[in-house]
Structure 1
C-alpha cells in the first residue's frame, strides 16, 4: 500500500541529504535546538506515486541562544564621545523552571521620568511653603 502513497523529503538549508523521509499525513517535530541562530530554510519535496514532484520552501529564523540586550546604542545611531552602555545576555533556560536572576534586563530610568519627578517635588515644595507658612 505504501507504494501508492506520496512521499515527502525534508531538507534543511542547502543539505544534500534529507533530514526526514515521510509518508503523509504525518506530524513531524523539527528540533531547532540543534541549529545555529540565524536564518534557515526548510525545503519540502513531495513525490506522488505517478512520479510528479512538488516543492515548497519555508524560511524561518532560529533564536535559541541567549538574547543580547544593549542600552545606550541603537542600530545606525550617530554617536560622539564616550558612550555608556548597559549590556546583558540572558537565556530562557530549560523552560521547566523560571529563574528570576539574569532573566530580565535592567534598564536605566528614562529622562522624562526624572523631569516629571523633579517637577512634582518642586510643586510639592511650593504647595507646602505657601499653604503651611506661619
Structure 2
C-alpha cells in the first residue's frame, strides 16, 4: 500500500485530467493554451485509504491584449450618447518590459479642473486685493 496521497488536476468541467501526481506536487499551469475568460481549477486528492478531498479554485485567464475603456463602467446605467475611449495593447513577454502602447490615455479628471478653477479664482482675488492695498 502506497503511503502518499494522489493529486488529480482538472480544468473546468473536463473529464480528462490535466495530470495525476503523487503529492507533494510542483505543477506549472500553462494558460497560453487556454481561452481568455473565467475558468475553474479543480484539484482532487485521494489519500492512501481511498478518501477524497476536492478543492475548486476559480480564476480568470487574460492572455490576449489588455483592453482599457474609459467612459463606461461595468453594470453602469446609461442614457443618451456616451463618448468612449478604448485602448487595446499587448503585455509583451514577461521577461522584458514593454513601454510602447502599454499605457492608456485618459481624460483629465474633474477634480483637476475644480482645483485649477479654484486656484485661478484665488489668484484673481489676491491680485485684486494686492492692487487695492497699493493704491
Normalising by structure 1, report the TM-score: 0.80
Q: How many residues align?
A: 132
Deviation at 1:95, TM superposition (A): 1.6
Matches of residues 1-134 of structure 1 in structure 2 within 5 Å? 4=2, 5-132=4-131
Q: 1:117 to 1:16 in 2, by over 3 A?
A: same
| Alignment gaps of 5+ in structure 2 | none
- Give the CA deviation at 1:24: 1.3
Q: Spell out structure 1 runs of 4+ moving beyond 3 A.
A: 47-54
- CA 1:77/1:48 → structure 2, altered by over 3 Å: closer, same or farther? closer
Q: Which residues of structure 1 form unaligned runs of 5+?
A: none
CA RMSD of aligned residues (A): 2.2
Q: For residues 96 and 104 of structure 2, what CA distance do their matches in structure 1 show?
A: 18
Aligned-partner SS, 2:86: strand
